[in-house]
A = this chain, B = another copy of it.
Amino acid sequence: MNEKLIFTDNAGAELDSFISGLTYAGTIVITDTNVEASVLPKFAETSDVVKNSPKIVIPVGDDNKTIDTLASVWKKLSDMEAVRKTIVVNIGGGVVTDLGGFAAATYMRGMRCVNVPTTLLAAVDASVGGKTGINFNGLKNQVGVFSEPVATIISTEFFNTLSDEEILSGYGEMLKHGLLEGDAAIDRLLSLNPLTDTAQLLGTIRDSVEVKARVVAEDLRESGTRKLLNLGHTFGHAFESFSYERGTPAAHGYAVVWGLVCELVLSHMRHGFPSALLYRIRDYVREHYGTFAITCNDYPALIHAMRHDKKNASSDSINCTLLQKPGLGLTDEVVSEDEIKSALDIYRDLML
């Protein structure tokens, strides 16, 4: 099944129109407590599906992306007498699309779902590409399945209420997509400030989502080229986990851009990634995202987190996706602890 991507400034009309073209037995909306209050009332004015569907409302936040919340969603689907032909409409950020998508993919061995991302991060990342799941045993997205929504409806109308941090977090994934796409794409992104250049921002979202969609179409299950999308994430996930452990939680896209700096350092060391562009990205990240401050005492914890990344073939090795230049990625690059420590040393120097 191929996911349909719908870019619109009227999500309500597109949602109703898309659903009406399917054969189905009812719709159920999954959302969170924040989105229920901030988005649904207005959304219901333009969409009968949103207005009339029974709602399953999960508590907001990554802390609630748990097996208990998943079980409560399954229970409500069952209580609502959902059947395999019922369509789930996930309206929210990444927690909603990940957990709601997992619930839909597993209830009765699989219902269809439509994603309506309400954050920039979810629009350019979580809601596209079929990764669903929950956190488990202290590990992010440790359990889930690859299961694509039948459609993702991306509308900028939801982004007005986002905080600067939420916009920048989403933009972090867009920078990654730009690096995977090529020189023109990353140049364009580095020339914009997503907080002020709103008009230009909108076109770049579509470009960005389409980079991801093209990669996923080639390799849904991440056995090959999809690993390109992991750029910035080996270090980024480690920063993110560590930020929670030490009580200074970092937004996902922030962790990713700090991870990008480290992995572009490795890309330069190993494959000659252009240093001029590395410095430009460093400047951009430092200006807009600040620095994730670490010392060499933190290296063991960061390396431990990297060893437990899902993308590693085994806990004996740590893999990165690196870039020879924008648009030319290399997956499954096994890096040694010494290389990781060097990259972290240089990251600290660069980001001072």
- Residues of A with Cβ closer than 8 Å to B? 25-26, 67, 71, 74-75, 78-79, 81, 83-85, 105-110, 131-133, 136-137, 139, 141-146, 221-222, 308, 310-315
Chain B contacts of A146 at CB under 8 A?
Answer: 109-110
Q: Give the CA-CA distance A150 to B148 in the complex, in Å.
A: 22
Q: Give the CA-CA distance A308 to B71 in the complex, in Å.
A: 19
B106 touches A144 (CB 8 A): yes
Chain B contacts of A81 at CB under 8 A?
Answer: 308, 315
A78 touches B142 (CB 8 A): yes
Q: Give the CA-CA distance A84 to B133 in the complex, in Å.
A: 15
Supply 23 A–B pairs (Cβ within 8 Å), ascending by A.
A25-B313, A25-B314, A74-B136, A74-B142, A81-B315, A83-B313, A83-B314, A83-B315, A84-B310, A85-B314, A105-B145, A106-B106, A106-B133, A106-B145, A107-B143, A108-B142, A108-B143, A109-B131, A109-B141, A109-B143, A109-B144, A109-B221, A109-B310
Q: Give the CA-CA distance A143 to B74 in the complex, in Å.
A: 8
Chain B contacts of A108 at CB under 8 A?
Answer: 142-143, 310
Q: Give the CA-CA distance A311 to B311 in the complex, in Å.
A: 36
